Amino acid sequence: MGRRRKRRTHVPIDDEKVPRSFVIRSGVVGRTVSYLVRDVRKVMEPNTAVKLRERKTNKLKDFVSVAGHYGVTHFLIFSQTKVGTNLRVARTPRGPTLTFRINQYSTIKDILSLQTNPRSKGTEYKNPPLLVLNNFGDNTKHMKLMAAMFQNLFPPINVQTMKLGEAKRVLLLNYDSETDKIDFRHYYIGIKITGVNKSIKRIIQTEVPNLNRYNDISEYILREAHASESDIEDGPDSTIVIPQKLLNKNQRSEQRAVRLTEIGPRMTLQLTKIQNGFCDGSIIYHRFIKKTKEEEKQLEKLHNQKIKEKEKRRKEQEDNIKRKQEEKERIANNNRKMQRDLLKAKLAQQKEESQKEQFEENIEEEEDDDDNINDVELIGDDEELDSEEDDDNDEMEED
């Protein structure tokens, strides 16, 4: 029998529709603001760059240039001035940009230090949080735009298809109309058993207690039966019926209590202005400065003029770059031509020298051959003279 191969049958998530974000700091900020930036990245998990590292030399345009490649749709930019700490929430690539004043804030470390039994990090950051907007029903334009901006920071939720087991966190944004401020709260969603005391909860939740000090389990249950902070009866508003698919196979559907535990960070925000561009552009709304229609027209005219000047400078820069590139290519071509001419001249000179050397060698060889021929002729003449002298001597002896 062949081995069964496991195949992925779940519906893949459309990554193109999932909003992604960069949470960064701009300029020089304090240590606590750096901690706040790190904590807000946790809130935006998993669709954010958690391990993003900024350098002092980095500018906003450096992050914008790579945002399109990574599918980043939103920027959360923290900055600090002498007046206070600010947060800009910007939509790429054309805005709008919402600027908030952070009146108060607490980091995750501050929140956990106030809890008796702080909860350690688990798997709740594998899925994005649920977003709850409270008191954002105002019909003014800036309130509608602010609510839409917050909603688009996170993936949309389909109640019919979402898995309840993935709902581990909730982000609550509460607008106070009297103070015109927004309370930013981040909670963990916990589900606990209702109607039993703390000791029985431990046994049901498979947390086996230490029973060495007891003779019988009843002593443990009776001793722990006194009311405590976690044993207070939950009201009907805080209990829900958990479906069978969220429980273990041996557990039946029953009521459970939903507990929210704040995990931080915590912020108090106040909207100061809205711009129609990405960190620039004309001001749509300003909390402290009110302008007449004529002033708005004048500002819009100045803004359009700045845009035209910017386009003009950009075109001039492109022309200068093109001209310099052409000049550079022309110089490079001339240099290559000069190098080729020098190489040809050098090769011709080497060829001429080699031919000259060959010619001189040939002349030397011919001279050597002539000398050898003369030597041979002289040797032959000497031999003939010797033979004639011998003949004369012989004739004289005979006489």
Q: Write down the pLDDT at residue 148.
A: 95
Same domain, 305 and 280: no
Q: With 0.85 as the threshold, say if the pTM is over it.
A: no
> Containing domain of residue 134, as a range?
15-195+233-286
Q: Within a domain: residue 254?
A: yes
Handedness of CA 191, 193, 195, 201 (dihedral sign): negative
Q: Write down the pLDDT at residue 65.
A: 92
Residue-by-residue pLDDT tens, the chain, 399 positions: 556 665 555 444 556 679 999 999 998 999 999 999 999 999 999 999 998 988 888 899 999 999 999 999 999 999 999 999 999 999 999 989 999 999 999 999 999 998 888 877 778 899 999 999 999 988 899 999 999 999 999 999 887 888 878 889 999 999 999 999 999 999 999 877 776 666 666 655 555 666 777 777 666 666 654 434 444 445 555 555 555 455 554 455 466 778 899 998 999 999 999 999 999 888 889 888 877 778 778 878 887 888 889 889 999 999 999 999 999 999 999 998 898 888 888 888 888 888 888 877 777 777 766 666 666 555 555 556 566 666 665 666 555
Q: Write down the pLDDT at residue 227.
A: 37
Same domain, 168 and 42: yes
Report the phi/psi class of residue 279: left, alpha or beta, with left for phi > 0 and alpha for psi in -120 to 50: left
Same domain, 324 and 274: no
Q: Residue 94: give its domain's CATH number.
A: 3.40.50.10480
Same domain, 96 and 133: yes
Are the beta carbons of 255 and 241 closer than 8 angstroms?
A: yes
Q: Within a domain: residue 223?
A: no
Q: DSSP character for 126?
A: G
Q: DSSP character for 287?
A: S
3-state SS, residue 96: coil
Same domain, 272 and 138: yes
| β partners of residue 29 | none
Q: Write down the pLDDT at residue 228.
A: 42
Note the pLDDT tens digit of each residue in 82-126.
999 999 999 999 989 999 999 999 999 999 998 888 877 778 899
Q: Write down the pLDDT at residue 230.
A: 44
Same domain, 320 and 238: no
- Between β-strands 130-134 and 169-176, what pairing exists: parallel, antiparallel or unpaired? parallel
Same domain, 280 and 326: no
What's the token pair of residue 156?
Answer: 């949309």
Note the pLDDT tens digit of each residue in 221-242.
666 544 344 444 455 555 555 5
- What's the number of domains the chain is made of? 2
What's the token pair of residue 206?
Answer: 């498979």
Q: What letter represents residue 362's amino acid?
A: N
